[in-house]
Amino acid sequence: MRRLVFASLLAVVSGACDKIISPDVAQIPFDLPPRSYSFNSSALGVPAGLSGDVPCGASAAPVPFTDCCNPPAPVPAPGCSPNQQVACEQNESGTEVCTVTATVSQSQMMNLGQEVSQLSGLAGVVSISIKKISYTVTVNTLDINLPDIGLYLAPSGVSDKDDPNAKKFGTLPAIAAGDMPMGDVILEGDAKTTLANRTSDIRSPFNFIAATTVKVSHAPTGRIDMTITGQLAASP
């Protein structure tokens, strides 16, 4: 009987301890150092000759054509540079127009061991968990809609999202012209693993890349500024 009572008391105490000792006790919460990105319309590199929509395709007048960089006379050449992607594509209205496809990308270095005071004393392998990653658009004078913006993590020597060592981390939803939204970044399913791979040594820097691919049929104007923030936690 005494053994049964003792076992019951032990179970009660053990259960109480489980409620008191939370896994979060060993975690060190901290804010993600903010990173700001600015995309200017001039970075899209639209040829000077595409200041307005240029019809192309079978219905183009006076002569049908599809090579937008080398149109037949009397259509003026837009002045494409060798690396520009200009093609005859349908716009939102279903009309074929000369369209520029341009990727804009910015990379910023981050070093949690140096930038986060709460982590300055940690060394070796550290586990970082994600509570929330957020974004805020602070300026938006663009006269075009901006597609989804991808966020990528990469080693400190990599600034190109298409590099095999860059890994997609999350997505900012598309932003309409002139809108200034705020919200949560849509994280990839393996975002925690991607972050863990870049922060296993808290003292090693890594790159935080923001990139999007835009299609335009005329030279846009304006710029958009945004800031990425978040709440994370570290476990030694």
**Is residue 110 in a domain?**
yes
| Burial tier of 43 (Cβ tally within 10 Å: 0-12, 13-18, 19+) | middle
Residue 219 within any structural domain of the chain:
yes
Contact 209, 105 (CB under 8 A): yes
Per-residue model confidence (pLDDT) at position 95: 92
What is the model's pLDDT at position 82?
A: 84
Q: Would 5 be classed as within a structural domain?
A: no
The total number of structural domains that make up the chain: 1
Find tokens 């890349």 and name the residue. 209
What confidence score (pLDDT) does residue 125 get? 66
Q: Which domain holds residue 124?
A: 23-44+101-235
For residue 225, count CB atoms less than 10 angstroms from its CB and return exposed for 0-12, middle for 13-18, buried for 19 or more. Answer: middle
- 85, two tokens: 């992607």
Tens digits of pLDDT across the chain (236 residues): 444 433 443 343 344 444 443 445 578 999 999 999 999 998 888 888 888 889 999 988 888 999 999 999 888 889 898 888 999 999 888 899 999 999 999 999 999 988 999 887 776 667 888 999 999 999 999 999 999 999 999 999 999 999 999 999 999 999 999 999 999 999 999 999 999 999 888 888 999 999 999 999 988 999 999 999 999 998 87
Q: Is residue 18 assigned to a domain?
A: no
Task: Flag whether 147 is in a domain.
Answer: yes
* Confidence at residue 10, expressed as pLDDT on a 0 to 100 scale: 35
In a domain, 206, yes or no: yes
Question: Residue 159 falls within a domain, yes or no?
Answer: yes
